[in-house]
Amino acid sequence: MIVTETNLAGCFIIEPIVFNDERGSFFESFNKIEFKEKTGLEVEFVKDNQSISHKGVLRGLHFQENEFAQAKLVRVVKGKVLDVVVDLRKESQTFGKSFSIILSGENNKQLFVPRGFAHGFYVLENETIFNYKCDNYYHKEVEKGIRYNDSDLAIDWSLKDEKVILLEKDRQLMTFKQFCQ
């Protein structure tokens, strides 16, 4: 695997080595030993999640805090998304900064999202299958989020005039300023 740290400390792009032959292709989507060697991080994933979304769906920017925070290893099995993370670690030099990447079933790239980050994605193709490993369990009562279009974050979602499909609860998320209070 090829591992590249993003502009946000502890957030990594993971590119598996893909083997192609007349049968199709094969790649190892996760190897705990190699991950630790290349990132310096030891992560114990406790669950896998998967969503299937239509083009135009925006999920996020979600997070859990404190002992409920989650690190995630995210990837697209089929389709394509614009994946976005925001560093919410107040002690970090990149606090409030974001990073985005196209993840697709074709490029097989993955993104490791450390604890203390908000995460979201915008679906660019119909019937996109999004998979993510988490190192902590989901706790509905502490789920939080920041509005995807918060002007202080100024994230370029490349939405243009497209209609965003967004849950009402995600329209009501806090602003970045509210998070900082």
148 counts as catalytic? no
- Which of 54, 62, 119, 139 is catalytic? The answer is 62
Q: Which two tokens stand for residue 157?
A: 């979602």
In three-state secondary structure terms, 34 is helix
Structure tokens at 79: 């389709």
Find where tokens 């970045």 sit.
176
Which residue out of 119, 132, 137, 138 is catalytically annotated? 132
Annotation says 119 is catalytic: no
d(CA 107, CA 77): 10
Q: List Cβ neighbours of 94 (8 Å cut-off, separation of 6 or more).
A: 7, 8, 9, 87
Dist. CA 87–CA 119, nearest whole Å: 9
Active site members: 62, 132
